[in-house]
């Protein structure tokens, strides 16, 4: 059994299993449930080594169902306050909770539970990434640009808050729904970004995470009360970026920048799906950061060649985005756009405003951009100094190889 298939199944089924079992046993037993699901996947890894089942997904679903009774026995031994599960009607009810529509409802409840306002913003993001999509603490730390120990503490605090506040496993209504939806979108955005531009050392694109984020976003859009213009804008971003995934690397896994990507590899059905979502997204008088990011991605897709890119339009959308949410990465992106548009003085002024440390694990991008600026000014010694700093800071192997090619080109 290939590890990639196990990882794929884990990503797509961990959240489903946890959500359904929590619906049966309740949030107080979440940690026991998560341990049981982990155990199911470990057993799958071992038993599938020499004999992979014809339908691995069905195998896992059945394993999850079987785990219900195992859990019941374990929880009964620990505490008496657990639901009484007998045979007959109760068993039929459990079987029904594994129907696709019920699994989706359970997952949506889990997403909104994880994003409850009683949990601190940082805790709810880490907790949701863990329970909804099965991220490890290490992966969450990479996605959130923080330490693994910090993530473990956040997840532990979230579990404690759920117990203390007796949070209910449900989708909120009215004003509470609108507030919680923002947190849900932030989590889905982070999952997608970790897939599209992974912080892992060995791989830059993780398609399974992009697919998972899009699946969860579609799930939110399927619910009558949560398909808002802002969610459509988020889904449009995902579609526009996912359409370019196959062009980001060469056949031998070398990273390609936007200028050198083969645009014939862009997947136009996804672009069309993104355009449809964007039409629904703009049916509002108020635009969000997701609207502006989608507009930027759309501008890149409109250009038939890199030279046809409308950099002035992209800069305008970045300025709107930065005005709405001022962040160091937006300033850096604006500097990059100014470089591409040959507005070197303006680009340098933006770079001067930036503290590279404010970019966290992405600080290497600052030094790479400064190197690019010096290269345009034919200041090659300075360009080499900064590209070498970028090389020391970058962790992803594909990005390191890409920057090394830049360094060699500067020396030659």
Domain boundaries, the chain: 334-412
Q: Are 191 and 215 in contact, with CB atoms under 8 Å apart?
A: no
Could you tell me which residue, 318 or 15, shows the higher pLDDT? 318
Determine the distance from the C-alpha atom of residue 141 to the mean position of all C-alpha atoms in its chain, rounded to a whole number. 13
In degrees rounded to 5, what are phi and psi of residue 147?
-80, 150
Q: Are 71 and 25 in contact, with CB atoms under 8 Å apart?
A: yes
pLDDT at 345 over 60: yes
Q: Could you report the per-residue pLDDT of 193-244, keeping only the tens digit for each?
A: 878 876 666 666 777 778 888 988 999 999 888 999 999 999 999 999 999 9
pLDDT of 76: 66
Residue at token pair 């503290």: 355
The SS3 call for residue 249 is strand
Burial of 224 (0-12, 13-18, 19+ CB in 10 A): exposed
pLDDT of 13: 79
Residues 6+ apart with CB under 8 A from 411: 384
d(CA 251, CA 238): 23
pLDDT of 97: 63
Could you tell me which residue, 188 or 66, shows the higher pLDDT? 188
Q: Could you report the per-residue pLDDT of 91-110, keeping only the tens digit for each?
A: 546 666 666 667 778 889 99
d(CA 388, CA 23): 52
**DSSP assignments along 146-198, one per residue:** S-HHHHHHHHHHHHHHHHHHT--SS---THHHHHHHHHHHHHHHHHHHHHHS-
Residue at token pair 């984020």: 213
Residues 6+ apart with CB under 8 A from 308: none
d(CA 294, CA 299): 9
pLDDT at 331 over 80: yes
With CA atoms as reference, report the closest residue to 65 among 99, 88, 31, 32: 99
Query: Using 50, 70 and 90 to split pLDDT, how confident is the model at 313?
Result: very high
Task: Enter the tokens of residue 240.
Answer: 């526009």
Helix (H) or strand (E) holding 211: helix 207-222
What's the whole-number average pLDDT of the chain?
Answer: 86
**DSSP assignments along 121-153, one per residue:** HHHHHHHHHHHHH---HHHHHHHTTS-HHHHHH
With CA atoms as reference, report the closest residue to 79 among 25, 19, 23: 25
Determine the distance from the C-alpha atom of residue 409 to the mean position of all C-alpha atoms in its chain, rounded to a whole number. 34
Q: Could you report the per-residue pLDDT of 232-255, keeping only the tens digit for each?
A: 999 999 999 999 999 988 888 888
d(CA 76, CA 98): 22
Q: Could you report the per-residue pLDDT of 253-266, keeping only the tens digit for each?
A: 888 899 999 999 99
Span between the terminal Cα atoms of the chain, in Å: 46
Count CA within 13 A, CB hemisphere, residue 36. 26
The CB density around residue 198, as the number of other CB atoms within 10 Å, is 21
Could you tell me which residue, 200 or 369, shows the higher pLDDT? 369
Q: Are 19 and 107 in contact, with CB atoms under 8 Å apart?
A: yes
In degrees rounded to 5, what are phi and psi of residue 158?
-65, -45
In degrees rounded to 5, what are phi and psi of residue 267?
-90, 100
d(CA 361, CA 394): 8
The SS3 call for residue 47 is helix
The whole-number average pLDDT for the span 144-163 is 89
């Amino acid at each position: 059994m290939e590890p990639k298939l196990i990882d794929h199944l884990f990503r797509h089924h961990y959240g489903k299993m946890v959500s359904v079992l929590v619906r049966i046993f309740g949030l107080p037993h979440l940690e026991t449930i998560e341990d049981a699901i982990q155990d199911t996947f470990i057993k799958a890894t071992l038993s599938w080594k020499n004999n992979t089942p014809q339908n691995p997904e069905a195998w896992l679903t059945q394993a999850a169902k079987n785990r219900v009774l195992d859990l019941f026995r374990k929880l009964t031994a620990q505490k008496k306050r657990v639901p009484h599960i007998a045979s007959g009607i109760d068993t039929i009810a459990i079987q029904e909770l594994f129907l696709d529509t019920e699994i989706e409802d359970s997952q949506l409840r889990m997403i909104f539970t994880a994003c409850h306002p009683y949990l601190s913003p940082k805790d709810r993001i880490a907790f949701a990434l863990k329970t909804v999509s099965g991220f490890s603490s290490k992966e969450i730390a990479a996605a959130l640009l923080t330490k693994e120990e910090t993530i473990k503490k956040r997840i532990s605090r979230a579990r404690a808050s759920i117990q203390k506040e007796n949070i209910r496993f449900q989708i909120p209504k009215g004003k509470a729904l609108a507030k919680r939806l923002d947190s849900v979108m932030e989590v889905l955005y982070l999952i997608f970004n970790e897939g599209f531009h992974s912080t892992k050392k060995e791989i830059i694109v993780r398609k399974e995470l992009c697919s998972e984020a899009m699946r969860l976003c579609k799930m939110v859009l399927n619910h009558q009360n949560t398909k808002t213009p802002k969610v459509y804008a988020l889904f449009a971003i995902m579609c526009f970026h996912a359409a370019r995934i196959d062009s980001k690397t060469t056949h031998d896994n070398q990273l390609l920048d936007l200028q050198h990507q083969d645009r014939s590899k862009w997947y136009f059905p996804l672009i069309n799906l993104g355009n449809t979502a964007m039409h629904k997204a703009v049916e509002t008088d108020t635009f969000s950061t997701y609207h502006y990011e989608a507009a930027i991605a759309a501008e890149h897709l409109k250009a038939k060649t890199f030279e046809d890119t409308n950099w002035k339009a992209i800069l305008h959308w970045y300025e709107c985005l930065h005005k709405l949410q001022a962040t160091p990465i937006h300033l850096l992106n604006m500097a990059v756009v100014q470089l591409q548009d040959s507005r070197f003085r303006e680009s340098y002024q933006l770079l001067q405003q930036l503290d590279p440390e404010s970019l966290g694990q992405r600080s290497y991008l600052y030094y790479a951009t400064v190197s690019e600026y010096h290269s345009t000014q034919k200041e090659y010694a300075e360009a080499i100094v900064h590209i070498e700093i970028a090389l020391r800071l970058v962790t992803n192997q594909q990005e390191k190889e890409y920057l090394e090619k830049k360094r060699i080109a500067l020396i030659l």
